[in-house]
């Protein structure tokens, strides 16, 4: 039987590449963007599946892949995909949001605790001898009893909400529409921010959410409020955030994503009440492998090559 042809536009673990090679005829998208049009002109008509991460999938690429049936994304975000064009052509899209949700949620909680308890500077306080020298470290803020707003109550947002409740926080949320959950709903981010001590961004990047967190939202959050972003950088108007932080307009921020990453504004790098991480929300060995496994499984199941992956159970279970 002839193997289906897939186009790999993602860096994947070696074990995953071996699995793909065993199941499919795999074409590798050139890293040099200048070579891509000619490559697609030669090979695009044969491609029926796409293993994707950051490559932009626009109408021009779709035109070059007329037989494409399915896109399997290694990531949760699909802001690099023209979803309207994809859906119009009947192409299936599958991402990894359910798989990475728990580790990304853990990252959000880590950032919230780091910024409210000032853990980065507290670490330096111990290392530089200040504690041993008799100095007293300032008190932080408690998440217990805080009202924390979740922006986007999808798979990641639900995981964040459950963790916040376990920590003793009260949770509210906003999104395009109310969901069947027992949590207070606010129709706008401004209204949510005005009622919360912190907001956690977990929403996808779309035209509607681009710069959704602007000066109005930050002003509503206020000088005692915290911003946590593990969504996408451009959900936040970074210039507005820099300006508000410079005026002590919010208490602090924990940021895993940035508007023009990996470039980060100097004002954020130098601000004492901002905790920064390098887009590592899903960055654990276990979750990245599970995400890669999902790419293989989604493609294999679509083409009828095998059923769901059998994960061995632990002894005694």
Residue 279 has pLDDT above 60, yes or no: yes
The pLDDT, as a whole number, for residue 313 is 43
pLDDT band (50, 70, 90) for residue 31: confident
The percent of residues above 90 in pLDDT, for the chain, comes to 90
Q: Measured between alpha carbons, how far is residue 144 from residues 97, 166, 197, 224 in Å?
A: 28, 9, 11, 15
Residue 310 is encoded by which pair of tokens? 């059998």
Task: State the average pLDDT over residues 145-151.
Answer: 98
Upper half-sphere CA count for residue 93 (Cβ side, 13 Å):
20
Task: State the average pLDDT over residues 175-181.
Answer: 95
Task: State the average pLDDT over residues 242-256.
Answer: 98
Catalytic annotation, pick one of 216, 279, 301, 302: 279
Surface-to-core class of residue 303, CB atoms within 10 Å of its CB (0-12 exposed, 13-18 middle, 19+ buried): middle
The segment(s) of the chain belonging to CATH 3.40.50.720 are 5-96+285-302, 101-276
pLDDT band (50, 70, 90) for residue 315: very low
pLDDT digits (tens, 9 = 90+) for 53-107: 989 999 999 999 999 999 999 988 888 999 999 999 999 999 988 899 999 999 9
Q: Pick one of 3.40.50.720, 3.40.50.620, 3.30.300.30, 2.40.50.140 as the CATH number of 101-276.
A: 3.40.50.720
Upper half-sphere CA count for residue 140 (Cβ side, 13 Å):
17
Residue 316 has pLDDT above 60, yes or no: no
Could you check whether the bond before residue 262 is cis, i.e. omega within 30 degrees of 0?
A: yes
Task: State the average pLDDT over residues 191-209.
Answer: 96
For residue 261, indicate whether it is catalytic.
yes
Query: Picking from 76-90, 146-160, 183-197, which range would have the lowest pLDDT averaged per residue?
Result: 76-90
Contact 107, 277 (CB under 8 A): yes
For residue 232, indicate whether it is catalytic.
yes
Residue 317 has pLDDT above 80, yes or no: no
Residue 120 has pLDDT above 50, yes or no: yes
Left if phi > 0, otherwise alpha if psi is -120 to 50, otherwise beta: which for 245? alpha
Torsion of CA 265, 267, 270, 275, to 10 degrees: -70
pLDDT digits (tens, 9 = 90+) for 41-55: 999 999 999 999 989
The pLDDT, as a whole number, for residue 310 is 59
Catalytic annotation, pick one of 89, 261, 271, 302: 261
CA separation for the pair 31, 208 (Å, rounded):
31
148 phi and psi angles, rounded to 5 deg: -120, 130
For residue 238, indicate whether it is catalytic.
no
The pLDDT, as a whole number, for residue 116 is 98
Upper half-sphere CA count for residue 213 (Cβ side, 13 Å):
38
Contact 180, 157 (CB under 8 A): no
Catalytic annotation, pick one of 94, 186, 232, 288: 232
Contact 268, 255 (CB under 8 A): yes
Taking only Cα atoms into account, the Rg of the chain, rounded to an integer number of angstroms, comes to 22
pLDDT band (50, 70, 90) for residue 33: confident
Q: Which residue has the higher pLDDT, 311 or 315?
A: 311
CA separation for the pair 258, 86 (Å, rounded):
27
To which residue do tokens 């008799």 refer?
Answer: 134
Q: Pick one of 3.40.50.720, 3.40.605.10, 3.40.50.10710, 3.30.540.10 as the CATH number of 5-96+285-302.
A: 3.40.50.720
Task: State the average pLDDT over residues 201-221.
Answer: 96
């Amino acid at each position: 039987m002839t193997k289906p042809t897939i186009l790999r536009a993602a860096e994947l673990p070696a074990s995953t590449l071996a699995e793909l090679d065993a199941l499919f005829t795999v074409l590798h998208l050139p890293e040099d963007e200048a070579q891509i049009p000619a490559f697609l002109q030669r090979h695009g008509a044969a491609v029926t599946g796409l293993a994707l991460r950051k490559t932009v999938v626009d109408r021009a690429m779709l035109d070059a892949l007329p037989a494409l049936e399915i896109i399997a994304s290694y990531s949760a975000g699909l802001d690099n995909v023209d979803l309207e064009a994809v859906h119009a052509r009947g192409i299936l899209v599958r991402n990894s949001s359910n798989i990475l949700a728990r580790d990304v949620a853990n990252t959000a909680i880590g950032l919230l605790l780091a910024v409210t308890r000032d853990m980065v500077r507290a670490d330096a306080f111990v290392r530089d001898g200040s504690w041993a020298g008799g100095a007293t470290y300032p008190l932080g803020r408690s998440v217990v009893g805080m009202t924390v707003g979740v922006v986007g109550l999808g798979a990641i947002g639900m995981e964040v909400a459950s963790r916040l409740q376990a920590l003793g926080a009260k949770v509210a949320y906003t999104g395009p529409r109310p969901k069947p959950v027992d949590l207070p709903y606010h129709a706008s981010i401004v209204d949510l921010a005005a009622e919360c001590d912190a907001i956690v961004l977990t929403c996808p990047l779309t035209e509607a959410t681009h710069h959704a967190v602007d000066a109005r939202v930050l002003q509503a959050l206020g000088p005692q409020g915290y911003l946590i972003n593990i969504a996408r950088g451009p959900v936040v108007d970074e210039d507005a955030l820099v300006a508000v932080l410079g005026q002590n307009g919010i208490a602090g921020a924990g940021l895993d994503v940035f508007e023009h990453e990996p470039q980060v504004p100097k004002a954020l790098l130098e601000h004492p009440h901002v905790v920064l991480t390098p887009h590592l929300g899903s960055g654990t060995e276990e979750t990245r492998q599970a995400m890669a496994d999902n790419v293989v499984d989604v493609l294999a199941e679509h083409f009828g090559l095998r059923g769901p992956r059998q994960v061995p159970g632990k002894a005694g279970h």
